[in-house]
């Protein structure tokens, strides 16, 4: 990816150059997960189990262009045609015992521009609201971006389908708008809600999926501790979640914001030694922006038992105007949303003003760590959830 180039007529940026090598088309792969797997739909192998899972639930078909089916023969006739199609390309969703409980397709396949959609999603009651329901979407998204090489992943649904719209946002898709009277489905006008996820956003979405799917996110009864919606939240407290397209801006901002610490530390500040491609993929990076541009950066690492403030920085011209306090409060709000009751951070031992500022906001010193070329003061605060 290279920098945006100006339009020859207007002089305005016209977009970032991208790799024009076409994406691969979907194939007959098996995508293994912890809760089950996704594999190419086979009507003969999967049909009986799918019928048993779906036969008593007419609600599943309410917003789809087909179904419900009068009997197993009608369902089998419809299902037999699905694997023959290259677009949509159908996958079955299987429980660990190999029983098929749902279908999802990759469709509207446009390899030349590296765009693809997930749709025609049929989740039986046995699949709905399970770990596998979410994991299947993670496996497909990872396949779409990392194996097939797409740059845009779409989700579209009937605008009246509130559960589908909630699911799209929960999975990390961004709502883009409505296409009015976009289709006729079962003899009725359909307004279509459009959502998308971009390749630059995928590392952040992937991290959210993987944190949600991790065994430690579930209690002994299998209940989630932190919701995927909370992990994928794109804005909060006036901040915007950064994506890979923001890396250059964040790096430049951090360089300016931390410059004052260099002579006090006698070494390069740790945030200036980091690889921000890795930081944005592994941590939550939140941006405070105004009409004047980027004014604050907050980088958080949610951990099992606490939320680490990895970096908090403001534009030098705004020092003393309360933005740092606002970012600190936002970090604590984020911890509460994630169900975490402990905040932690660390700062350089020579940065006496920073340490005193954190202490004024309720942070206490826990320990001092010798890092070889510097000493770091670790601080902690307990908050109510």
Instruction: Provide the CATH number for the domain around residue 175.
Output: 3.40.630.30
Q: Which of 185, 217, 249 is the last residue of a domain?
A: 217
Q: Does residue 363 sit within a domain?
A: yes
- The reply to whether the predicted model has a pTM over 0.95 is no
- pLDDT score at 1: 40
Residues 114 and 37 in one domain: yes
Residues 76 and 202 in one domain: yes
Q: Does residue 257 sit within a domain?
A: yes
- pLDDT score at 237: 81
Full domain range(s) for residue 141: 11-217
Residues 179 and 276 in one domain: no
Residues 164 and 288 in one domain: no
Residues 323 and 212 in one domain: no
Q: Does residue 3 sit within a domain?
A: no
- pLDDT score at 94: 98
Question: What is the number of domains present in the chain?
Answer: 2
Residues 142 and 194 in one domain: yes
- pLDDT score at 311: 97
Residues 47 and 160 in one domain: yes
- Retrieve residue 147's tokens: 């194996």
Residues 243 and 200 in one domain: no
Residues 279 and 324 in one domain: yes
Q: Does residue 166 sit within a domain?
A: yes
Given a cut of 50, the residues of the chain with pLDDT beneath it are 1-2
- pLDDT score at 245: 84
Residues 341 and 365 in one domain: yes
Q: Which of 190, 217, 244 is the last residue of a domain?
A: 217
Q: Does residue 306 sit within a domain?
A: yes
Q: Which of 186, 217, 248 is the last residue of a domain?
A: 217
Residues 52 and 158 in one domain: yes
- pLDDT score at 304: 83
Residues 171 and 265 in one domain: no
């Amino acid at each position: 990816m290279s920098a945006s180039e100006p339009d020859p007529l207007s002089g305005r940026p016209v977009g970032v150059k991208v790799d024009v090598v076409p994406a691969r088309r979907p194939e007959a792969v098996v995508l293994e997960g912890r809760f089950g797997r996704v594999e190419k739909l086979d009507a003969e192998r999967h049909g009986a189990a799918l019928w048993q899972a779906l036969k008593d639930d007419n609600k599943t078909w309410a917003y789809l262009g087909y179904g419900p089916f009068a009997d197993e023969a009608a369902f089998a006739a419809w299902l037999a045609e699905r694997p023959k199609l290259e677009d949509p390309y159908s996958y079955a969703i299987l429980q660990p015992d190999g029983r098929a409980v749902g279908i999802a397709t990759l469709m509207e396949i446009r390899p030349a521009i590296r765009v693809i959609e997930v749709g025609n999603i049929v989740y039986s009651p046995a699949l709905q609201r399970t770990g596998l329901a979410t994991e299947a979407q993670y496996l497909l998204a990872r396949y779409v971006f990392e194996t097939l090489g797409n740059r845009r992943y779409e989700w579209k649904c009937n605008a009246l389908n509130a559960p589908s719209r909630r699911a799209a946002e929960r999975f990390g898709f961004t709502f883009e708008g409505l296409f009015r009277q976009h289709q006729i489905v079962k003899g009725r006008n359909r307004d279509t809600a459009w959502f998308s996820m971009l390749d630059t956003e995928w590392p952040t979405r992937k991290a959210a999926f993987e944190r949600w799917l991790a065994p430690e996110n579930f209690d002994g009864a299998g209940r989630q501790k932190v919701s995927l919606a909370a992990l994928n939240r794109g804005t909060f407290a006036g901040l915007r979640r950064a994506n890979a397209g923001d890396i250059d801006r964040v790096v430049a901002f951090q360089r300016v914001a931390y410059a004052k610490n260099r002579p006090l530390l006698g070494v390069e500040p740790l945030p200036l030694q980091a690889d921000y491609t890795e930081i944005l993929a592994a941590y939550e990076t939140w941006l405070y922006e105004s009409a004047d541009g980027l004014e604050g950066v907050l980088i958080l690492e949610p951990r099992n038992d606490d939320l680490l403030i990895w970096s908090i920085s403001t534009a030098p011209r705004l020092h003393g105007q309360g933005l740092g306090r606002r970012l600190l409060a936002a970090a604590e709000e984020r911890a509460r949303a994630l169900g975490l009751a402990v905040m932690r951070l660390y700062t350089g031992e020579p940065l006496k003003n920073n340490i005193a500022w954190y202490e004024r906001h309720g942070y206490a010193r826990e320990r001092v760590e010798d890092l070889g070329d510097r000493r770091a003061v670790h601080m902690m605060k307990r908050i109510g959830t």
